[in-house]
Structure 1
Amino acid sequence: MVAELPAWAVRLRAERRNRLWSQKEMARRLVEAADEETRRGLPIRETIVRRIKAYEAGHNQPRDPYRLLYTRAFGISEAELFDMSQVPSRPTLDDVLAKLPDGDSLTPLPARTGRRIGMNTIADLSARVHRLRLADDVLAGGDLLQPAFRELGTATRLYREATYTENTGRALLGRIGELAQITGWIASDAGRHGEAAKVYRLGIHAAQEAGDGTLESNLLGSLAYQVTNVGDPHEGVTLAHAALDVIGPHGPARARALAWDRVAWAHVQVGEDESAMRALGEAGATLEQHGGEDEPTYLYWMDANELQIMEARAYTELRRPLRAVPVLTDVLGRYDATHARELALYLSWLAVALTDANEPEEAARTAWRMFDLSKDVASDRTLRRHRVVLDRLAPYRDVPDVRELMNHPQEAWRSE
């Protein structure tokens, strides 16, 4: 178990991952940190990678020269890196998941008396999941909460009560995982974060049982995004990196790009600018590898526009408006107006970036558009962004356009 590792092993892994280095990259850095004489005595790169894996698994603590090479590569003192009395800099994945509410059991009933199902049932479930995703593109969490939980409950009961072959059961677990992902996303958008976390855990369990690493990564990444935004962003970093580890280097390109995207956002929220920018670069480079390979249908929305928006959001959070405003303006000019929630959210980032660029009048005009667009949208995400935009504009209250916006009755921005 990760939580039982010695502190130094957890720290070695955390420091490597914080820098977005693979174990092969870590091996290269260790070699580069060696002087010429030490380098001649080092084994081949593959052997060093095996050593790194053993160190991070806690099998044995590094000895010289590796101990010294680690301190040079990380720029951290030996006492700080290997002192077992110190607390790890990041929570472990097990620690994070242990704080979440348990999902409903997926254990089949001992005496299943339900109907026998086959792949036709799975195909029908797949179609219903996809319809729910498409509905989420144009409707908000508050509108979809009930049907989403109803679909998830139906699928879970089928798994527990129906009879089926092993292959059908594995496929059913996959559909449950997909339903859990979109249901968790919908619940989070509706502000039901505890229920969302519970559903995500259920989905992670289902994906693991189905042996679907791509789906597990998507669920971990979705959970990371929620935890980063409304929980402890350091735990979000742990979850985002876990999603990246699960997908591995051979998963679908768009799934890997999405995992990097979540990593970038988590690092933005803990103020690790360099790590965030490197992750965004990895996301872009990975997305370019997409070339029509087989991939799950739920990746349909991951494209260059989404990465551009995440890049602009990152620049906005890092107070670099001159980088954020042109990208947001460009993307929003071509965004589908039927996706009211997403359009409103992205307008909120533009309003904040314009405020940081000392353009309060234009920021206020953008905020008006964002508020008008989202007033009938039952989304906790947009409501939270309302507050952020108003808070950031508050120092410009003496500007007439801003004053008019700030004096508008707050209840008028929402349909109760």
Structure 2
Amino acid sequence: MIDDRRRKFGARLALLRRTAGLSQRQLAARLCMVSGPATVTHNEISRWERGERIPNDWLPLIARALSVPLADLERAAAHARGDITAPQPRQDVETLRQLLATEDLLVPVPTRPGGRLGAQAVAVLAGRVHGLRLADDVLAGQDLIGPAFRELGEAARLHREHTFTEETGRALLVQVGELAQIAGWIASDAGCGDHAEQAYRLGISAARQAGDRPLLGQLEGSLAYHWSNNGRARDGRDLARAALTDAGPAAHPKTRALFLDRIAWTHTRTGEPQPALTALGRAHEALSADATEEAPQWAYWVSEDELRVMDARVATELRRPLRAVPLLTEVLATYDPTHAREIALYRSWLAMALADANEPEQAAEQARNVIAGGVASERIAERSRVLLHRLGAFAEVPEVRALLDGYDHLLRQERQ
């Protein structure tokens, strides 16, 4: 009798093959083309898909032939073999824990062993901070958490161990705050929520000391967003409102739009539709306002398309799919394909809206694209689980049944 885990793996492999538009014979031919002297027949592929065998040695070539992440296939195969072990704590997370254990990372050490720090060193740090932001556009949290917190530790060390002019000190605090914000976002994406909150709090302290009100609003808003998605919806709503106030009336229109966007989301999470829709309207108005100066560099990504995504997310959460589906479809049609995590997240909301619109076949197709992408993000993993639970209501639909069978191991992991 075939083990259930192996059967599920086979069903998933068959689903990936069909998604690629290949028959078993065509997949066998592709594998033979790239395998050198080794050969495989369609009968062997049939055995894999029935769960009779796990194609351990063939996984890299299968991933290549089907254009799917190898890591995703290897995890599924390991589960099918029954040899998945509990993940070991990442060294990066342990480093972060030690880093944030200090009472106040921004308090200078008495001896200041690092000597004098000039403006050029801060400018170099600013370049690395923005480079990390750009990397986050195309890489997921689990890939970036190490570099992010190494940079945060180094920035804090510069402040603690060096002397500098008042102007340079303020600029350095600004970079610590900006770095703490992106590090917190990355930690949250990697599934390290407690450490994300600690990083945000460090950044809030730095922004306050620097007197940078828009940056303070950015960090408070980031923490509010984190809270709203992790069981503290009312606290998140209240902090999001405070972030807009703390940013001040002179904040750039782009940043005000971002802060209002977060307010809209936190009201949505607390089940307050009218304040959420009002905040969305104010966000669009803010973004269209004239500006007399450049926006902060950290707001580079704020755009009308991103606001429309939030419009659609709010509409989906409020169970208004007729509003959400066309918005998300339009944005996804032109979205930068290198931003894999954002595309997967937006597809997940589209899948949910399609399910609410009673279109389970299309919802299953979008959900499969999300899950099969293999993005190393806890946000994607959580959205994948949410989608599978939601689509369980349509289990009798063949496309949905295939999806549920192919990715049942994700729900099993959740229950363990």
Instruction: Check the 8 A contact 1:316/1:353 in 2, yes or no.
Output: yes
- Per the alignment, residue 127 of structure 1 pairs with 127
Using the alignment, how far apart are the partners of 1:144 and 1:243 within structure 2?
Answer: 27
Using the alignment, how far apart are the partners of 1:232 and 1:139 within structure 2?
Answer: 27
> Post-superposition shift, 1:105?
2.8
- Per the alignment, residue 274 of structure 2 pairs with 274
Instruction: Check the 8 A contact 2:354/2:360 in 1, yes or no.
Output: yes
- Per the alignment, residue 381 of structure 2 pairs with 383
Amino acid at match of 1:368: R
Give the secondary structure class of the aligned counterpart of 1:168: helix
Instruction: Check the 8 A contact 2:385/2:410 in 1, yes or no.
Output: no
Give the secondary structure class of the aligned counterpart of 2:229: helix
Using the alignment, how far apart are the partners of 1:115 and 1:311 within structure 2?
Answer: 50
1:6-48 Cα distance to aligned partner (Å, 9 max, x none): xxxxxxxxxxxxxxxxxxxxxxxxxxxxxxxxxxxxxxxxxxx
- Per the alignment, residue 115 of structure 1 pairs with 115
Amino acid at match of 2:207: A
Instruction: Check the 8 A contact 1:354/1:360 in 2, yes or no.
Output: yes
Using the alignment, how far apart are the partners of 1:247 and 1:394 within structure 2?
Answer: 43
| 1:228-307 equivalent positions in 2, closer than 5 A | 228-291=228-291, 293-307=293-307
Using the alignment, how far apart are the partners of 1:292 and 1:145 within structure 2?
Answer: 36
Matched, 1:320 2:285: no
What is the TM-score of this pair, normalised by structure 1? 0.73
Instruction: Check the 8 A contact 1:252/1:290 in 2, yes or no.
Output: no
Using the alignment, how far apart are the partners of 2:229 and 2:343 within structure 1?
Answer: 19
- Per the alignment, residue 405 of structure 1 pairs with 403
Using the alignment, how far apart are the partners of 1:105 and 1:238 within structure 2?
Answer: 27
- Structure 1 residues 289 and 233, CA, compared in 2 at 3 Å: closer, same or farther? same
| 1:31-50 equivalent positions in 2, closer than 5 A | none
Amino acid at match of 1:293: E
Give the secondary structure class of the aligned counterpart of 1:295: coil
- Structure 1 residues 199 and 290, CA, compared in 2 at 3 Å: closer, same or farther? farther
Amino acid at match of 1:208: R
Amino acid at match of 1:388: V
Using the alignment, how far apart are the partners of 1:310 and 1:206 within structure 2?
Answer: 29
Instruction: Check the 8 A contact 1:103/1:198 in 2, yes or no.
Output: no
> Post-superposition shift, 1:363?
0.5
- Structure 1 residues 384 and 185, CA, compared in 2 at 3 Å: closer, same or farther? same
Using the alignment, how far apart are the partners of 2:349 and 2:208 within structure 1?
Answer: 36
Identity of aligned residues (%): 54
> Post-superposition shift, 1:284?
0.4
Give the secondary structure class of the aligned counterpart of 2:293: coil
> Post-superposition shift, 1:370?
1.4
Count of matched residue pairs: 312
- Structure 1 residues 213 and 119, CA, compared in 2 at 3 Å: closer, same or farther? same
Instruction: Check the 8 A contact 2:253/2:290 in 1, yes or no.
Output: yes
- Structure 1 residues 394 and 412, CA, compared in 2 at 3 Å: closer, same or farther? closer
> Post-superposition shift, 1:291?
4.1
Give the secondary structure class of the aligned counterpart of 1:333: helix
1:47-70 Cα distance to aligned partner (Å, 9 max, x none): xxxxxxxxxxxxxxxxxxxxxxxx
- Per the alignment, residue 213 of structure 1 pairs with 213
Using the alignment, how far apart are the partners of 1:147 and 1:201 within structure 2?
Answer: 19
> Post-superposition shift, 1:315?
0.1
Using the alignment, how far apart are the partners of 1:101 and 1:320 within structure 2?
Answer: 44
- Structure 1 residues 278 and 103, CA, compared in 2 at 3 Å: closer, same or farther? farther
Give the secondary structure class of the aligned counterpart of 1:112: coil
Instruction: Check the 8 A contact 2:370/2:380 in 1, yes or no.
Output: no
> Post-superposition shift, 1:389?
0.7
| 1:180-195 equivalent positions in 2, closer than 5 A | 180-195=180-195
| 1:64-83 equivalent positions in 2, closer than 5 A | none
1:293-350 Cα distance to aligned partner (Å, 9 max, x none): 2221110000001000000000000000000000000000001111111100000000
> Post-superposition shift, 1:391?
1.1
> Post-superposition shift, 1:206?
0.2
- Per the alignment, residue 372 of structure 2 pairs with 372
Matched, 1:168 2:168: yes
Using the alignment, how far apart are the partners of 2:397 and 2:114 within structure 1?
Answer: 66
- Which of 377, 381, 393 aligns to 1:395? It is 393
Higher RCO structure (Cα 8 Å, ≥6 apart): 2
- Structure 1 residues 135 and 410, CA, compared in 2 at 3 Å: closer, same or farther? farther
- Structure 1 residues 410 and 341, CA, compared in 2 at 3 Å: closer, same or farther? farther
Using the alignment, how far apart are the partners of 1:111 and 1:145 within structure 2?
Answer: 31
Instruction: Check the 8 A contact 1:268/1:318 in 2, yes or no.
Output: yes
Instruction: Check the 8 A contact 1:102/1:201 in 2, yes or no.
Output: no
| 1:15-30 equivalent positions in 2, closer than 5 A | none
Q: Unpaired segments of 5 or more residues in structure 1?
A: 1-99
- Per the alignment, residue 226 of structure 1 pairs with 226
> Post-superposition shift, 1:378?
1.3
> Post-superposition shift, 1:163?
1.1
- Per the alignment, residue 200 of structure 2 pairs with 200
Give the secondary structure class of the aligned counterpart of 1:230: coil
- Per the alignment, residue 331 of structure 2 pairs with 331
Using the alignment, how far apart are the partners of 2:143 and 2:104 within structure 1?
Answer: 23
Using the alignment, how far apart are the partners of 1:201 and 1:310 within structure 2?
Answer: 25
> Post-superposition shift, 1:231?
2.5
Using the alignment, how far apart are the partners of 2:382 and 2:219 within structure 1?
Answer: 23
Amino acid at match of 2:202: L
- Per the alignment, residue 72 of structure 1 pairs with none
> Post-superposition shift, 1:292?
6.3
- Structure 1 residues 286 and 342, CA, compared in 2 at 3 Å: closer, same or farther? same
Using the alignment, how far apart are the partners of 2:103 and 2:256 within structure 1?
Answer: 26
Give the secondary structure class of the aligned counterpart of 2:163: coil
Instruction: Check the 8 A contact 1:103/1:201 in 2, yes or no.
Output: no
- Structure 1 residues 400 and 281, CA, compared in 2 at 3 Å: closer, same or farther? same
Instruction: Check the 8 A contact 2:224/2:237 in 1, yes or no.
Output: yes
